[in-house]
Structure formats: C-alpha cells, structure tokens
Structure 1
Amino acid sequence: MSSELLDALVLLEKEKGISRDIIIEAIEAALISAYRRNFNQAQNVRIDIHLGNGTMRVFARKEVVDEVFDPRLEISLEDALKINPNYQINDIVELEVTPKDFGRIAAQTAKQVVTQRVREAERGIIYSEFIDREEDIMTGIVQRTDPKFIYVSLGKIEAILPSNEQMPNERYKPHDRIKVFLTKVEKTTKGPQIYVSRTHPGLLKRLFEIEVPEIYDGTVEIKSVAREAGDRSKISVHSDNQEVDPVGACVGPKGTRVQAIVNELKGEKIDIVKWSQDPVVFVANALSPSKVLDVIVHEEEKATTVIVPDFQLSLAIGKRGQNARLAAKLTGWKIDIKSETDARAAGIYPREETLLSLSQEDVEEDSEMSIFEDID
C-alpha cells in the first residue's frame, strides 16, 4: 500500500465523510479474500496494515495443540515453544506468510471489494442523514423529467417526485429550485431511495413554520390542514397567549407572510382559520369567507347542519363544493349547508335557543383571514 493511497483515504474521509477506519476494515477484508483466492490458502490469516509507512503483512493464525490434524490451522506445542517459550495449549501463534508479489495481486483483487464497501458505507451515511429528515422540507434542484417522475437533486442524493405528488398548476424545468416535502426514505439494494411531494399537506405546514416565527417558536400552533394542491387550502391556527392573534401572525404585515407561501405554491389560495374547541364556532369559522347564521351539531353522527343567508349559499359551498369540502376536512365534521329560506321551510331555523355561541359580529371577527374570494 503506497503513501499515495493513504493520502487518498484521508481525502475520502474529508470529502465523503466516511471514517478511515471503515475503509481500512474493508481493505483488510478484501486482502484476506485475495490471499486465499490467489494463493490457494485456506488458513486463518490476519492482515496488518501499517498506516505510517503504508506497508502490509499477512500473518497466519494457528492454534497451539498437542496433536496437529490440520497444519494450516494448528501448530504443535513443541514447534510453538521454539518460537516463544511462553506459549501454552489453546494459544494463538501468528506466523508471517506475506508472499513476495502479494501487493500487486491483492491490490487488483481488492479494488472492486473496497469500492463496494466504500459505496455501502457512503449509502449508509446518506440514509442516516435523510431518515431523520422524513416529514421535513428541503430545497432541491430539478435535474431531469420523464412522464412518470421528476428527479430532484438534494445535494448528496437525487430524490423522486412522482407524478401524483406534482402540483397540477406547475411545470418543472431543469435547474428550477423548488421546495419539496420528504414523504419516505427507503433502503434499497441500490442505495437509499427518497420520495418527495409538492402536494402533501405537510409541505404547507412546514412553509408556515419557516415564514411565521410565532409558529416556529410554539407561540402559535397549526391545529389542522386541509389542502387541494394547486388550487386552495385551509389551515386552522390557535394560540394559548391571549395577546397573540394567531391569524394575524400567519398573514403578516400587509399579508407578506402568507403571500410568500402563495408565491412558493404558484398561486395556491390559502385561507387561515382560527381554531376553536367548540365545533359550532370552528365550523362557522372554517366556512368563511361566507357568513353563518347558525350551526346545528349532531354529536352522535359527528355531523353539522349549517344555515347561511340565501345570498351566501354559493359562497359557502364554493366552486364545485370546494369550500364546504375543505371545511369538512379541516374540522373533521360532516357539513350539510342549507340556505336560510330552506331552513325556515324545514322548521329548523330560527331556533328558540341557538347553539351558535357567538353573535354574527363575533363570527366575522374570530373566523378566518382570507385574501381570496370564491367567484362562481
């Protein structure tokens, strides 16, 4: 082993982050295999690599016995005592058996094995690094595209963005920088495989954590997320600090915080809803920007009937039912929306004792900050 190879090991450790000890172990294992294969030897051997001068030696390891049955693995006590008078039965004697041309043959044979071990060690390091980043957000660079996948470089590894995880309103070109959500990190025979998403609700949550310091430090909490990627999303937020407006914190001064996220998601509309433990208030808030007159809760069915003014019915339902559908996902409650006229005809509104715990002014104030309106 030359000093140049030792220098290369140091450089590999620095650039790839692979411990030199791991590489040395791989070399020793490869040299043992090379010795047995090329010199037709079956004895138990040990490789000694001197890192200082780059020399290497092969030692046969033999057990001290009374009677030798296999001279390749055993040595008699009489012969062992000639080497060292302190040897006893069952001790291990090491005898140097380094062939003259071992260095050349071993280097050729070991090259492939060492390369494989180094590659495996590198894959292990990459896997360990990225398995901790599952359900996290990273910035990647689009490398290439095909009909099924977008391949995104995350630095040390290339991730896969499947077609069903791509936003329908986006077109990806090589060298585009995009933020992606790591959904899964797998170990495969070809190394770690990382899957990412642009449609996962977790991406929206992580973007808010980046843009809103109050969410990052825990002052404001994101309670739930409902998303139809590329079109519209709703999030519910809450703060135990009465002096903090969770919706205002997420919107930011003049809407700058939420607008930065909208820009990252290529114009996806985002509604920010104030969370409430009371399903009446929460459902009313979630249906904003429409106004709600009453919410009737059916606890056993985990369902609600929502009464809205006649002129607000289409707004409450939204285009293709989107607003109602997102509100149901956000709250976890089934939502049946009725106009005021239909509710009066059915005799369910107005009720003698309304279940809506907030007045109409309170609902408007506490509901949702949305810079978007549904347009039918």
Structure 2
Amino acid sequence: MPKKEQTLDFQELFSAIDELEREYKIEKDYVYSVLESALLTAYKQVKGIKDKNLSNVKVSIDPEKGSVKIYEYRKVVENVKDRKSEISLEDAQKIDKRYKVGDIVAIEVPISQFSRKAAMTVRQTVIGKIREKRRSIIFEDYSSKVDNIVTGVVQRIDKKNVIVEIEGGKVEAILPMEEQIPGEEYKPGVMMKFYITEVRIPPKEKEPIVYLSRTHPNLIKRLMENEVPEIQEGIIEIKAIAREAGSRSKVAVYSNSLKVDPVGACIGEKGIRIQNVLKHLNGEKIDIVKWSSDIGEFIKNALSPAEVVHIDLNLIEKKAFVLVPNSQLSLAIGKGGQNARLAAKLTGWKIDIKGKD
C-alpha cells in the first residue's frame, strides 16, 4: 500500500507564523486560534459531524516542539449512550488498565489520517484568515498615514499610472495620472516624496492600495513642516496654499510670536530651508507671503513680488480692485495670468488689476 502523502507541514507553518509576527505584527495567538478553528472544522468534515458543539474535542498546539494534536475527550461509563462523548470501561482499559468509571480519556486523532480535502480546508482557512488580518493591519496602518508624506521608489508605469514601492514594498502604491506633475518624469529606481491621499481595499479580497499625489497642496505643507521647526512647534502657521503643481505655488504663513518673522523663518538662512523643500518639487517655485487678517493687506502680500499702490474692496462680492504701477502691471498679473490667479486662489477673493501712471 502506498505511503500516505504528508498533507500538513506544521514546522513550515510555525516558521511562517514567526515571520508574520515580525513583519506584519500579526499576533501569534490570533494565528493559533485560526489554526485551531480550522482543524476543528476539518475534524468535523472527516468525522461527518454537523453538530456545532465540539466541547469534547480539543486542539493542542505546541510551537516549541512544532506539533499540533487533536484529542477527543470521552467519559468512561458502564453503558455507552453517546459514542461521541462516552467510552465503555472495557475499551478505556484497553488503553490503560487504570481507568475507572467516571474518568476522562483523551484519545488522539491522528492528523496524518486527515483526507487531502480536509487538509486543504485547514490550509485554505488559515491562509484566508491570515490574508484577511494582514489586509486589515495594512489598511489601518496606512489609513492613519493619510494626509502625510512618504518616501517611495518608482517601479514602473502601468496604463499611465505610476506604480511606487513604499516602505519595503509591503503594499502597492499608485500615483494616478491626474495626481502627476505635468512634465515630471517618473523613471524606475528614482526616489521621491509623495503625499498619501487615501487607502482602498479593492474588490475580490485583493491587497489594500495606497493612492499617492505629487500635485496636492498639502505635499508642500508637509515638506515645510519637516524643514521648519517653528511650524512643528506651532509658532508659525500655514494659513493657505495655492498651487499650480510643477510651476509655481504661493504659501501664506503667520507667526504667533512677534519675535519670529514667519516669511524669514520659512525661507531660512541663505534660503536653506525653502531650498530643501524645493529639491523635492522638480523645479517648482514657491512664494512665501505673510498672512494677515486684514484682507486688503493680505491681497497686497499675495500679489508680491509686485508692488500695490491702491486697493478697493467690494465686501459683498468679495472682489478687490487693485492698482499697481504700469511698470509692474505684467509682474502683478504674471505670465499667463499666473501671479494674479494664484493670489486670488490664496486669498479666496476675485482680483481685478489695473495699471496706474
């Protein structure tokens, strides 16, 4: 008779459980409980049991020895009425002559006798539950990182989306086409900073997907927080950001301390702080402007580097009529209207700019 094929390798399984705990912080106790449940399900399948109550069947897991055993516990009786939970005194004494009526006998059920189908049930159940737990852990982990930046390495382009490896490749990250900076090249192997916009678990029980952005205004905000300690400490606040990704942005900052110049602090000595931000933005320019609760003053600052001569405000329509020297009209408006457009977006006001002799 051919030797029965080994269908369950518990040594291999325990090694995998150790790895799961290290890499994904999946508690061993959780995996053991899943394994126990799967073995009990397989036991019922082998025995043809439909009853949910298996109080007399226990699984013994010993990871130190790399062993897993199933025991049926039966009470020794004179007359057997329930073969699932009872054993005759005669049969019990065949196991050990010392057994007497009322004792509990532990009878091992050899797992090696499990059918291939039962073994497959165990394997699929354990793998399925572990994947489910792993998905849950990854989803929760990265969901807590939404609205933050992450360093990633470009892997490849797939249907105009950029596939990015983040944090050792534990999860797939995608930079959609609409979140890519126009004209920016995404070459495999290049390391970049990305802003995490959301995390989704796609249908059909696939792994979570982290969605990234290179165009989101908060990419600049988070980069500045990393470079400017006064922002981290709450001394300086970023009040607003207007961005045309890859080209130019304006950032409005405010200081809660009269001793700290918000613009100077963000730029840094010899421009070092803002340069450390710009190196992650592929040549994009950033104007740091001082925020003011006085909307007229704020609009003047937002139109820098142009000089404003006079400003009238229509509070009802939130519209500003701005006069600048004729010599600075093109500077105030900017190439393609960009400076005026960004100032309007930064302040939330419509801005009508006119030249003055």
> TM exceeds 0.5?
yes
Category of TM-score, reference length = shorter chain: 0.7 to 0.9
When the two structures are superposed, what TM-score results if normalisation uses the length of structure 2? 0.82
User: Which runs of structure 2 are paired with 1:1-376 in the superposition (5 Å)?
Assistant: 2=10, 5-43=13-51, 44-45=53-54, 46-51=57-62, 53=65, 54-59=67-72, 84=102, 98=109, 101-102=112-113, 105=116, 106-155=118-167, 156-188=170-202, 189-340=205-356
Give the CA deviation at 1:35: 1.9
- What one-letter code is carried by the residue in structure 2 that aligns with 1:292? V
Pairwise CA RMSD: 2.6
**Secondary structure at the residue paired with 2:109?**
coil
**Secondary structure at the residue paired with 2:307?**
coil
- State how far apart, in whole Å, the 2-side matches of 1:187 and 1:283 are: 43
- State how far apart, in whole Å, the 2-side matches of 1:96 and 1:335 are: 86
Give the CA deviation at 1:226: 0.3
| Structure-2 change in CA distance of 1:98 and 1:335 (3 Å) | same
Give the CA deviation at 1:11: 3.7
- What one-letter code is carried by the residue in structure 1 that aligns with 2:179? E
* Maintained 8 Å contact 1:233/1:269: yes
**Secondary structure at the residue paired with 1:183?**
strand
| Structure-2 change in CA distance of 1:4 and 1:231 (3 Å) | closer
**Identical-pair percentage:** 46
Stretches of structure 2 lacking an aligned partner (at least 5 in a row): 1-8, 76-80, 87-99
- State how far apart, in whole Å, the 2-side matches of 1:97 and 1:26 are: 20
- What one-letter code is carried by the residue in structure 2 that aligns with 1:123? R
Paired residues in the alignment total 321
* Maintained 8 Å contact 2:161/2:175: yes
Residues 99-153 of structure 1, C-alpha deviation per residue, up to 9 Å, x if partnerless? Answer: 5644575544311221121111111111121111000000001111123210111
Give the CA deviation at 1:244: 0.6
When the two structures are superposed, what TM-score results if normalisation uses the length of structure 1? 0.78
Give the CA deviation at 1:58: 4.2
- What one-letter code is carried by the residue in structure 2 that aligns with 1:6? F
Task: Name segments (4+ residues, structure 1) moved above 3 Å.
Answer: 1-8, 58-62, 71-75, 82-85, 93-97, 99-109
| Structure-2 change in CA distance of 1:73 and 1:283 (3 Å) | farther
| Structure-2 change in CA distance of 1:123 and 1:94 (3 Å) | farther
